Structure 1
Amino acid sequence: MRKGERGTTVVYADRFTPEDERRRARETGEEAQAIPFLKRFTVFNAAQCENLPEEIAAAAPPPDSGLIEPRVEALIAATGIDFRIGGNRAFYVPAHDYVMVPPPQAFFEPINWHRTALHECSHASGAPRRLNRDLSGSFGSKKYAFEELVAEISAAFCCAALGIVPTVRHADYIGSWLEVMREDNRAVVRAASQASKAADWLLAHLPDDDAASGDAAIANDGRVAA
């Protein structure tokens, strides 16, 4: 198991007949009574593990040709972020500084892969050796909500600059986290400021020609995509 991974709890249900009950049933001629039981396990996807034997190691299928925009692929590679494609959920692990995103074909509409990938890379931009944001918030906390705002607004800026038009609305996701921070009426302004820095950091890794067109797109449309 790779350090930093979190398992999923599963429950196994069955019945068993104790030996004493079997003996009682034999002696009385009655039917033995089985006892129901539940057993809990924590399991991990093979994609979350390292150094598995070849016969059980899971290799993520390569992305179908043409599903990833070349500029987005080049940008991610140029950032130097440890970006992994596989598994069934997208996340960034601050403790080990890597991003995991399922392959594009796992998305109902593959165009949305780019939004998710840029969202997770925006989280990674906050690592101490990059923009050094506070990534210590636990799920549901205000710190966590604020970082989600930063990452999603940054992804919206990047998508606009790169001409990516996801079918999932950035504004809906942003609004869901604003609900967590509803008493802070300046949360979106503060998050947008940090998101602008995150998007600038990511887009700075575009090849020169693409970077120039990206700057123009942000200048012409600096709004959060809806």
Structure 2
Amino acid sequence: MRQPSRRSTRGDDAPRAARGDLYDAVTRRIIAELEAGRVPWVQPWEAGGAAPGLPRNALTGRAYSGINILILWSALTENGWRAHAWLTFRQALAAGGSVRKGARGTCIVYADRFTPNTEAEKTGSGDAPKTIAFLRRFTVFNIDQCEGLRADLAPDPAPLADDEILPQAEALIAASGIDVRIGGDRAFYAPAEDVVQLPPRRAFFDPVNFYSVALHELTHATGHKARLDRQILNRFGTKDYAREELVAEMGSAFLCSALGIAPTVRHADYLGAWLDVLRADNREIFRAASAASKAADWLRARHGAREAHAA
């Protein structure tokens, strides 16, 4: 919680319609889950036997980000798969195996921008070239849907031992460089002072909840103009405020999962506001997931840099 403070230019209709359909399909699914009382970034991990973690490509080891995390988490939970590792059909073949006959893939997306040739010619003319957004679909398969894969694929990151999880969470908080103060009975981020305030650990029934709350507030803090420069000075109760809470909820979930902590919902009371935001614009969940992923990556990079320096 933050402390309250005072269309494409292309003439190509078919690709634009395809992008719209994709935004609609993903947004409709997220809305349906929220309406059913299931929060897509809070997974019942034990249902499939998968430990908390972030989805990654099994061949390259590269982690998926943004909306793809929610899409792949949802598919994992729905199907009871045990691994967060995914491959395209061709990658399964390249890995010496194949996708099992009849397996249904999961559609993920790749978003980027390109500069048309006519715009690229403006470079140096004083006019900034315009870029055009594009969205592509890719189909991936969980490795539980594959067979015959070679044994040397990118391994799952070794899970932290139970007695290492909280120290690593503590180290991530310290590495952020953000001013975190302990005391009182409220948790919030104050943008004007650039301070995260947290109740003492003893105030939480389960010590791990202290860290999920802390990561929620630290995600807010990444939006400060000196960091990722996200719009965070939003009046309480507005749609912009609800959007930023959505970013913080997912940012905390992504960070918790990377640490081996099962994500929780910090502000379920914002559910109605989130639904209003998503129903009004089918791209909002994409923007929020992207911002949450960037925030989590920022905090993890600081932590990784400190760990590397210490080594």
- The alignment's TM-score, normalised by the length of structure 2, stands at 0.43
Query: What is the CA-CA distance between 1:86 and the residue it aligns to?
Result: 1.0
Aligned residue for 2:274? 178
Q: Does 1:141 align with 2:238?
A: yes
Deviation digits for residues 199-218 of structure 1, max 9, x if unmatched? 0001112246979xxxxxxx
Q: Which piece of structure 1 moves more, 157-166 or 193-202?
A: 157-166
Contact 2:222 2:295 in 1 (8 A): yes
1:125 maps to which of 185, 210, 222? 222
Structure 1 stretches (4+) deviating beyond 4 angstroms?
A: 170-174, 208-211
Contact 1:86 1:100 in 2 (8 A): yes
Deviation digits for residues 98-140 of structure 1, max 9, x if unmatched? 0001112212322211111000000000000000001121111
Q: 1:209 and 1:126, CA in 2 relative to 1: closer, same or farther beyond 3 A?
A: closer
Q: 1:171 and 1:92, CA in 2 relative to 1: closer, same or farther beyond 3 A?
A: closer
Q: Relative CO higher for 1 or 2, CA cutoff 8 Å, sep ≥ 6? A: 2
Aligned residue for 2:200? 103
Contact 1:152 1:173 in 2 (8 A): no
Q: Does 1:90 align with 2:187?
A: yes
Q: 1:170 and 1:93, CA in 2 relative to 1: closer, same or farther beyond 3 A?
A: closer
Q: CA RMSD in A?
A: 2.9
> Matched residues in 1 for 2:4 and 2:303: separation?
31
Deviation digits for residues 124-165 of structure 1, max 9, x if unmatched? 000000000011211110111111111111100000001012
Q: Secondary structure at the match of 1:206?
A: helix
> Matched residues in 2 for 1:186 and 1:114: separation?
30
> Matched residues in 2 for 1:192 and 1:171: separation?
16
Aligned residue for 1:52? none
Quote the sequence identity (%). Answer: 52
Q: Tell me which structure has the larger Cα radius of gyration.
A: 1
> Matched residues in 2 for 1:199 and 1:128: separation?
16
Q: 1:169 and 1:92, CA in 2 relative to 1: closer, same or farther beyond 3 A?
A: closer
Q: Does 1:78 align with 2:212?
A: no
Aligned residue for 2:247? 150
Deviation digits for residues 46-82 of structure 1, max 9, x if unmatched? xxxxxxxxxxxxxxxxxxxx8x811111111111100
> Matched residues in 2 for 1:177 and 1:87: separation?
27
**1:178 maps to amino acid:** W
Aligned residue for 2:303? 206
> Matched residues in 2 for 1:177 and 1:104: separation?
29
Contact 1:104 1:113 in 2 (8 A): yes
Count of equivalent residues: 148
**1:86 maps to amino acid:** G
Q: Secondary structure at the match of 1:144?
A: helix
> Matched residues in 1 for 2:229 and 2:190: separation?
14
Q: 1:188 and 1:74, CA in 2 relative to 1: closer, same or farther beyond 3 A?
A: same
Query: What is the CA-CA distance between 1:85 and the residue it aligns to?
Result: 1.1
Aligned residue for 1:55? none
Query: What is the CA-CA distance between 1:175 and the residue it aligns to?
Result: 3.7
Gaps of 5+ in 2: 6-162
Q: Secondary structure at the match of 1:153?
A: helix
- The alignment's TM-score, normalised by the length of structure 1, stands at 0.58
Gaps of 5+ in 1: 7-65, 212-226
Q: How does 1:24-35 map to 2 (within 5 A)?
A: none
Contact 1:148 1:177 in 2 (8 A): no
> Matched residues in 1 for 2:241 and 2:289: separation?
15
Q: 1:196 and 1:103, CA in 2 relative to 1: closer, same or farther beyond 3 A?
A: same
